Amino acid sequence: MLIVADVLVALVALIHVYILVLEMFLWTAPRTRAAFGVSAELAEQTKALAANQGLYNGFLAAGLIWGLIGSRPAEIFFLACVIIAGIYGALTATKRILFVQVVPGALALLFVLLAG
C-alpha cells in the first residue's frame, strides 16, 4: 500500500511541475493556449498572472516531494491543498480541473492515509 501511495503522490507532484512549466514558461505557446482556452492576446496580457499561478503549483510540487522524502504529515497537508485548490478551480474556472487535479490528489490522499 505504501508503494502505491508514494507513486500516486509522485504523480500528483509531476502534474504540478508540468503545470508550473506551462504557466511560467509556455503560457503564450499555441498548445498551452489551446489547453487553457486562452487567445494569443489574452495570454500575452495575463503572462505575469499565469507565471504567478505556476509558481504556486511549484510550491505544491515541492511540498509533495518533501513529503516523499520522509514527511507523511507534509504529504497529507499538501495533498489537501491540492484538493482544495482544485475544487476552487473547478468552481471558478473549468470543471476539467476536477479530473486533472482533484481526482489524482484525492486518490493519493486516500492511499497515503490507508498506508498509515
Per the structure, the complete domain to which residue 84 belongs is given by 2-115
Take residue 91 and report the three cell numbers written for it: 468552481
pLDDT at 1: 81
Q: In total, how many domains does the chain have?
A: 1
Burial of residue 68 (CB within 10 Å: 0-12, 13-18, 19+) is middle
The rounded distance, in Å, linking the Cα atoms of 24 and 14 is: 15
**Mean pLDDT, range 33-46, rounded to an integer:** 96
Find cell 485548490 and name the residue.
Answer: 85
Matching residue, cell 509531476: 14
Please give the angle made by the CA atoms of 25, 71 and 55, to the nearest 5 degrees. Answer: 15
pTM of the entire predicted model: 0.94
Q: Is the dihedral of CA 88, 91, 93, 94 positive or negative?
A: positive
Name residue 35's amino acid: A
For residue range 43-87, list pLDDT tens digits in order.
Answer: 999 999 999 999 999 999 999 999 999 889 999 999 999 999 999
Q: Which helix (H) or strand (E) holds 28?
A: none
